[in-house]
Chains A and B, each alone.
Chain A
Amino acid sequence: EMEDAEFEDILDDWFIESLKTYKDLHVYQLEHPTQVLEWTSGNSVCVAGYSQSKNEILELRLPLKLLADENKSLCAERDFKVSHGGFTDGPVRCLTHIPGTRCAVTNDGLSSDLQVWDLGGEESDVIRRTGSIKGKRSASERGSRIAARPSSAPQVLHGAQISDVQLTELASGETLYKLETDSADPLSSLQFVSDTVFLAGCCNGSVYVADTRTSAPPQLSHSPSSAESVIWWTDAAAGPHPSSRRVIRVSSSGQAVVSDLRNLGGAGCQAQLDVQTPGRCSQVKVSWAPTLDDCISVSGFSGVVQIYNTRLWGAEPQEARPLFEHRGHAVSSQQTDDSVPTFVTSHIWHPERPRTLLSAASDGSVHVWDWVDPNRQGGSPTP
């Protein structure tokens, strides 16, 4: 009971501190933890379970109170609305929404096959499986990464390792493009940086950039470090200006390297992130803020989500302090001595609202938070 009281006190403290550090804060508890957080529209997001057998895919509508600009104070609605839901036979490790459609593609992390889903419309709240795409490796230990082509008819780029990467048309199942390389490096990230150019980040830190229109060999940038035991995750900022197209790579030891997408081998800025534990494979997520220049978010090292301003980084890797740290998941999960500490499984930025993020943790919690930039506030943040 003493432990309970102490836990409650710590939680109360954090909530009181949060009055100053967050503009909005919403805390939800899912029945099962999710590793998936994917926007399906400006106000809806998909989550999905990753337990070994049966799981659910849910499409959640964000609370009206969060999204309301006018009359926010008269809106009492602060719950997630489950707008659509469906059942899967296996885990969902990766989910990608196909822009402009009510379609999503998933991967179970056990093979490189993909599942195709109809997210349902106005008349039904049921998400139904409509098909599948055969991957190159049916029984590999590693699942596929998936990227949806931003425009054009529904097409997905997918693969478990760099030599598998292919572009498949959803309607026909036809392979439209294959990446020409012999390397068997496993992928940690895959994303389009324009309608046809994509970036494939490997676990070893090397990054490939290729164009689906040509069969020319991809542009390769080698790993920033030669250390073998570390794993790297990558994210590219796909801003409208070529100068804003930058790539960040974060390693399981907390090393972070930013480079220019047009010159990946060139000198960029770097830092040693303020993380305690080595990142767990497949759980680290790094992401550029869509509307805040130079800001990145990182999670997966522990129970926190950190936001860094890369503008403060230099050419040499120096220790960087996070601009903001969301400790909500760690603080609100009661730990016993022998249990695995709660870790953040995923997070995602709201595409338009500059400081609104969603994050999910291994205890099934999902938080929606609009943080306050401590530098923009009048005083210093509450310690």
Chain B
Amino acid sequence: QHSYSFKSYRCALVCLLPLLKECNSELLSSVLPFQGAGQDVGRSCILVSIGGKNIMLDCGMHMGYNDDRRFPDFSYITQNGRLTDFLDCLIISHFHLDHCGALPYMSEMVGYDGPIYMTHPTKAICPILLEDFRKITVDKKGETNFFTSQMIKDCMKKVIPLNLHQTVQVDDELEIKAYYAGHVLGAAMVHIKVGSESVVYTGDYNMTPDRHLGAAWIDKCRPDILISESTYATTIRDSKRCRERDFLKKVHESIERGGKVLIPVFALGRAQELCILLETFWERMNLKAPIYFSTGLTEKANHYYKLFITWTNQKIRKTFVQRNMFEFKHIKAFDRSYADNPGPMVVFATPGMLHAGQSLQIFKKWAGNEKNMVIMPGYCVQGTIGHKILNGQRKLEMEGRAQNGPLLDVKLQVEYMSFSAHADAKGIMQLIRMAEPRNMLLVHGEAVKMEFLKGKIEQEFSIDCYMPANGETTTVTTNPSVPVDISLNLLKREMALGGPLPDPKKPRTMHGTLIMKENSLKLVSSEQALKELGLNEHQLRFTCHVQLQDPHSDADTLHRIYTHLKSVLKGYTIQHLPDGTVIVESIVIKVSSSAEDSNTKVLLLSWSYQVIIEPLLKKSFLYPAVLANPPLKSDVISSFWVQTLLQFPDSNKHCGITES
């Protein structure tokens, strides 16, 4: 407690990870991706400890599991305590379920009442997706022990919305700031700062703008760690235009052979993008087949786009000024009776995973005709019709029909297209160039396949790159400057000792006592420290016994030592006191005979700390050795004396040393 160096202080913190909050350190940040955010695509959830604060980043759900494994294992944070006591805040990057799906489970079932941050669009859209997913899981698949609608609502009440580029003070020391991430409407990267330390978490992001969103952007904030998703870190992405080309090609092929095309979409995001694309295409190709979108889609989407227009790209913003998002020339509102109309048509309908509602109704109607087509523009969760047909299933059991009833024969063409917008290797490099982090941490990827990228990042930016596995903690040592007040007296004393005047760019050693009180640190002289702390000064003396063979009487031996030292140590105060002691400066020497053998003399040496170092050892060959071992070791001192005594003219060469 009284004599640790800063180095050992840091090490202690690694072991104390779950208790970090109590340590209140400013010297360490650690990152613990637990469940999914490490090298396992699925679910994102990362725990960051920075400057004594614990922050959870995302609270995702793994879509590949049906049991508890789909949720993060919160026992990584605490075995029996409350999450609220351990976490300072939770930040959600965007509305995808692999980033927010476990939120109601965490806050309402495991129990967390601390602040939850997300952007406005995420806050608006996240509960819709959670409710959709709850319906699929509980209502369709009949699972129990899942969160309820009420829990979703209660959970969302704990959410504090974030604006872009607005610094939010979570508490006196912890502040967060959101940056635009592209990817989906409302997706954000977040800058987390405690004192002089900071971390940036990207969530999912996209470095190339598309038809409805812009590219991710962050300022040169130089965080200690940049935590980036790396799902596509080892890929070079095919251009957006080629994806669109494929989409148009498929739609066009189907229309040309007189087929109907169903495009199940989520109300927001890609739907708008694909509508803009088809509208342009129809115009250019002078196509006549009708395009419809389900009305629920329009209302919801227009509502959100009006709310969050600043989150879209410039082109969309301009369009919106001129007209309503859904005032298209070729795209019209859908009525359920249209599905039976003869001839080709294209319909956008919700929901995107074909698990209910209008998209499923239309699908059932059109599935039997091989001229028709369904284009799935995104991911589908297990248990949905969308998931089944993407896995190649061609015969489907339909609910609402009698058990063992006829299966739905899927004859229509099924097309899977991914329009997801993630940063590839180039995008990650671009972001590093933008933010200039001191350390890089890649989550979400496959470690074995990322050695090259790690090398590339380390070479190009001269920073360390980490790729923790699930449940693995990465500790990054930071070098924050810790301000310390120094008393004027002490500074004056240092000045008096001479040497060059202090240079702010060069480190300089100072001697004093460091007092840590509450949140302040100060360096004072030891006298002042004693005074302030109400302590008495104690002197520490070192002693050692040196044996030598000398047949003379004790008094004679002492006198011989006295004369010898007088000749060797010229210029020092050497006294022979009448009480049978020789004193060299403050070193005391006494002689006594051994009880067993009167020829064996025992010399008692006793000295205090300062005396030895300054005047006596200065010219000795031992001086450098003593300096190199600042905590004086008595054997060093002893050997000095042995050396001196060995030169004593008549003394026997056999000397032994006992130390105390």
Contact = CB atoms under 8 A, between A and B. Distances in A.
B452 A12 contact: no
B238 interface: yes
Contacts of A60: 236
User: Would you call the interface of chain A mostly helix, strand, loop, or mixed?
Assistant: mixed
A127 B452 CA distance: 8
A313 to B, nearest CB: 34
Contacts of B145: none
B455 interface: yes
Interface in B447-497: 448-453, 455-456, 459
Contact of B452 (A25, A84, A123): A84
Given A12-B284, A16-B284, A81-B234, A29 B426 contact: yes
B415 interface: yes
A115 interface: no
A87 B459 contact: yes
A63 B243 CA distance: 13
Range of interface residues on A (Cβ < 8 Å):
35 or more
Contacts of A230: none
Nearest to B241: A15
Contacts, number: 101
Contacts of B540: none
Given A19-B248, A28-B239, A86-B452, A76 B416 contact: yes
Contacts of A26: 238-239, 242
Nearest to B452: A85
Interface in A57-77: 60, 63, 71, 73-77
A82 B453 CA distance: 10
A123 B448 contact: yes
A74 B455 CA distance: 35
Contacts of B281: 16
Contacts of A77: 418
Given A16-B284, A71-B392, A74-B414, A82 B452 contact: yes
Contacts of A27: 238-239, 241-242
Contact of A79 (B237, B241, B415, B416): B237
A74 B380 CA distance: 13
From DSSP, what is the main secondary structure of chain B's interface residues? helix
B371 to A, nearest CB: 15
B418 to A, nearest CB: 4
A338 B416 CA distance: 43
A117 to B, nearest CB: 13
Interface string B271-314: 00000000011001100000000000000000000000000000
Given A74-B392, A125-B450, A12 B236 contact: no
A78 B450 contact: no
Interface string B201-241: 00000000000000000000000000000001011111101
B235 A18 contact: no
A87 B414 CA distance: 42
Nearest to A78: B238
Interface of B: 232, 234-239, 241-246, 248-250, 252, 280-281, 284-285, 390-392, 413-418, 424-426, 429, 448-453, 455-456, 459
Given A18-B245, A82-B236, A87-B459, 7 more contacts: A25-B245, A27-B239, A28-B237, A28-B238, A31-B426, A74-B414, A76-B418
23 contacts: A12-B280, A16-B281, A16-B284, A25-B245, A26-B242, A27-B239, A27-B242, A28-B238, A31-B426, A73-B413, A73-B414, A75-B416, A76-B418, A78-B238, A81-B235, A82-B235, A82-B236, A82-B425, A83-B449, A86-B452, A87-B459, A123-B448, A125-B451
